[in-house]
Amino acid sequence: MTIDVFILTALRSAEGASVSGGEIAKKLGVTRAAVWARIRELRSLGYEIEASPHEGYRLLHTPDLLLADDLLARLGTGRIIGRDIRVFQETTSTNDIIERLAVDGVREGVVVLAESQSKGRGRLGREWMSPAGKGIWLSVLLRPKLLPHETTQLTIAASTSVARAIQSETGLAPEVKWPNDILLGNRKVSGILTELHAELDRVKYIILGLGIDVNQEETDFPVPMRSIATSLRIETKHSVNRSNLAVALLRELERDYSRICRGQFEAIANEWEALCSTLGRDVSVRVGERWVHGRAESLANDGALLLRTQHGHLEHITGGDVSLRK
Amino acid sequence: MTIDVFILTALRSAEGASVSGGEIAKKLGVTRAAVWARIRELRSLGYEIEASPHEGYRLLHTPDLLLADDLLARLGTGRIIGRDIRVFQETTSTNDIIERLAVDGVREGVVVLAESQSKGRGRLGREWMSPAGKGIWLSVLLRPKLLPHETTQLTIAASTSVARAIQSETGLAPEVKWPNDILLGNRKVSGILTELHAELDRVKYIILGLGIDVNQEETDFPVPMRSIATSLRIETKHSVNRSNLAVALLRELERDYSRICRGQFEAIANEWEALCSTLGRDVSVRVGERWVHGRAESLANDGALLLRTQHGHLEHITGGDVSLRK
């Protein structure tokens, strides 16, 4: 833990009360002047810290910055997801970074965040706009004991995690759309890109990538996207703190991932079904170059969508583009 | 093309006849002395080249060496598989090298060979012994337009390619065992490791890795392996030229891969079924931690094994360990 993280943790655990500079200095084994120097440094990063000669220091406001050390300290230890966090100012895509870490044999749970991505991508190689400081662009390396075709479970789990994190941080009520979209009022606010590396019958690793549009204003989106994309700021009408959201999200991901590792996908599937805007609707799904039409009936136990075709046949779909039929 | 490859190609295309050194020198735009210097260099690598003052040079014997330039020249151009060949003296695993090339965006068809692998592996992370100079340890990068669950097609195709290459180079009659083994007299002589990198509904790239035990003697295998593993040398009772086999193999792989890309998997499946020792037999298959028992009935059109269970149900198995039931 760095000195900064120690100071921030001390200030946070006081929950709005003051903490004496002398006390912090003593625990750290440094001088009071050294603590004061770090406080000024933290202020320059945007942390609003009140300093009173008698009371000590008080944290008034955390800036909307993604700092690996701070995120790590807030998450605490004993977890898989986020036990190692790396923040980049800019990268091609956080999934690319995770892929390189995976090839180098890094263990599961490492999280990569970027302030901006120059080649952020969605499913099927589509572009994902990732402007600096406006969203959460995040990827996680996972090495679960799943069969390759069960990977859809992780996309489903991540969708519910994102929905819960948005709900707890903003009070909004997101819906999920199979397999990988999170919607607010029928507009997309978040998407998930699950990349699988596997043998025929064994998963080697999975890159779970996700993007959440947080603080874009309407004008940040190109005109043709405005009817289909939204952000938390647009929906709540105020800016949303990304680091708080990232912490909430990583906690939710941890919870769902440990449920999957314990074989409790069914509980996640039930939560997902309650959030879902796709089930019970007539949909068309494009799978590769084939279209399947039918009623979205339920989730299979591997995370696939079960579609009842007009001939009454139940199709088992592991991935594809869903559109609602009018 | 290097000077060496030019010389070798000229000597080979003479099919055992002599080629004048002056003619080679003229075409290359170098002196006759320069050609003679390269001939001596090639001899030092093990090429037996007869030099006669009047007739010129004649290729008597190609050494059992894997030289990228020479393999490239023998394969010719206009192909996908082997349009780029890299040979390593030693590596951890040729699949590892291909993975790094894939992450760097190298296009499909690149082939990596190694004289030896320090961490050669088979399915499910099992060790694959790859002693120096004794076998063909080879991986190919592919970027086919397949759905993730169709990847088994490539394992099936590669099995038939390996079987045909062994047949044409040795006259032996290999059998294939679903999904990834090639057998000679019930002992394994070659195995295939297919690694997939994909989104839920799109293949990003595939690493097709394969090993062929070529010139091991019985004593090169540890005692417990001798009843289950064999080599081409053990079966033919003479050593087999690895570079000839590698060229034959890369040609067969090209043929099968282009059939898959043209949607002609069925033709490969038919060939495979004719070579197969598994179909029509009662087998047990381990899929992850589950066992499935039944009669191996046929190949599905995605390359999966169709197993008729004792309850008459047809199971569709995309990967697993097959053992024959007594």
Q: What is the 3-state secondary structure (H, E, C) of B244-290?
A: HHHHHHHHHHHHHHHHHHCCCHHHHHHHHHHHECCCCCEEEEEECCE
Specify whether A52 is located in the same domain as A197. no
Query: How close A104 gets to chain B, by Cα (Å)?
Result: 10
Specify whether B122 is located in the same domain as B245. yes
- Minimum mean pLDDT range among A123-132, A168-177, B177-186: A123-132
Average pLDDT of the segment spanning A289-310: 89
Percent helix, strand and coil across chain A, each to the nearest 5: 35, 30, 35
Residues in B closer than 8 angstroms to A199, CB to CB, are 123-124, 193-196, 319
Residue A110 and residue A106: Cα distance in Å, rounded?
8
Specify whether A294 is located in the same domain as A267. no
| Closest alpha carbon within chain B to A285 | B201
Residue of B100, B202, B288 lying closest to A201 (CB–CB): B288
pLDDT confidence bin for A246, thresholds 50/70/90: very high
First and final C-alpha spacing in chain A = 55
- Supply the pTM of this predicted model: 0.83
pLDDT at A274 over 80: yes
Domain with residue A316: its CATH number is 2.30.30.100
Give the H or E element holding residue B321: strand B321-324
Domain that holds residue B45: 3-61
Total domains in chain B come to 3
pLDDT confidence bin for B53, thresholds 50/70/90: confident
Specify whether B106 is located in the same domain as B208. yes
A17 touches chain B (CB under 8 A): no
A231 touches chain B (CB under 8 A): no
Of B13, B41, B61, the last residue of a domain is B61
Residue of B96, B200, B288 lying closest to A179 (CB–CB): B200
pLDDT at A1 over 70: no
pLDDT confidence bin for B288, thresholds 50/70/90: confident
Residue A298 tokens, joined: 């339920």
Q: What is the DSSP letter of A127?
A: B
Specify whether B152 is located in the same domain as B231. yes
Query: How close A253 gets to chain B, by Cα (Å)?
Result: 19
pLDDT at B167 over 90: yes
Nearest one of B260, B213, B214, B254 to B71, comparing CA atoms: B254
pLDDT confidence bin for B228, thresholds 50/70/90: very high
Average pLDDT of the segment spanning B212-233: 94
Residues in A closer than 8 angstroms to B196, CB to CB, are 148, 196-200
Nearest one of B26, B24, B4 to B14, comparing CA atoms: B24
Of B61, B79, B102, the last residue of a domain is B61
* Contact indicator for B191, B210 with CB cutoff of 8 Å: yes
Domain with residue A48: its CATH number is 1.10.10.10
Would you call B318 and A149 a contact, using CB atoms and an 8 Å cutoff?
A: yes
Query: How close A74 gets to chain B, by Cα (Å)?
Result: 32
Specify whether A38 is located in the same domain as A119. no
B287 touches chain A (CB under 8 A): yes
Specify whether B54 is located in the same domain as B138. no
Q: What local confidence, expressed as pLDDT, does residue A188 receive?
A: 94
Quick one: B171 exposed, middle or buried, by C-beta within 10 A (0-12, 13-18, 19+)?
A: exposed
Mutation target to probe the A interface, by most A beta carbons within 10 A, among B200, B290, B292, B305 is B200
Residues in B closer than 8 angstroms to A150, CB to CB, are none
A198 touches chain B (CB under 8 A): yes
B152 touches chain A (CB under 8 A): yes
Specify whether B48 is located in the same domain as B195. no
Query: How close B89 gets to chain A, by Cα (Å)?
Result: 21
Q: What local confidence, expressed as pLDDT, does residue A131 receive?
A: 87
Residues in A closer than 8 angstroms to B119, CB to CB, are none
Specify whether B88 is located in the same domain as B40. no
| Closest alpha carbon within chain B to A100 | B103
| Closest alpha carbon within chain B to A153 | B200
Nearest one of B176, B152, B175, B109 to B265, comparing CA atoms: B152
Specify whether A55 is located in the same domain as A176. no
| Closest alpha carbon within chain B to A201 | B319
Domain with residue B224: its CATH number is 3.30.930.10
Average pLDDT of the segment spanning B143-148: 92
Q: What local confidence, expressed as pLDDT, does residue B1 receive?
A: 62
Would you call B200 and A152 a contact, using CB atoms and an 8 Å cutoff?
A: yes
pLDDT at A226 over 70: yes
Average pLDDT of the segment spanning A35-63: 91
Specify whether B81 is located in the same domain as B204. yes
Three-state secondary-structure class, residue A297: strand
Specify whether B97 is located in the same domain as B223. yes
Query: How close B18 gets to chain A, by Cα (Å)?
Result: 50
Of A257, A275, A293, the last residue of a domain is A275
Average pLDDT taken over every residue of chain B: 91
pLDDT at B24 over 90: yes
Q: What local confidence, expressed as pLDDT, does residue B39 receive?
A: 94
Helices B265-275 and B242-261, packing angle to 10 deg: 130
| Closest alpha carbon within chain A to B98 | A103
Q: Which of residues 80-99 of B touch A (CB under 8 A)?
A: 96, 99
% pLDDT > 90, chain A = 68
Q: What local confidence, expressed as pLDDT, does residue A201 receive?
A: 83
Residue of B147, B151, B199 lying closest to A194 (CB–CB): B199
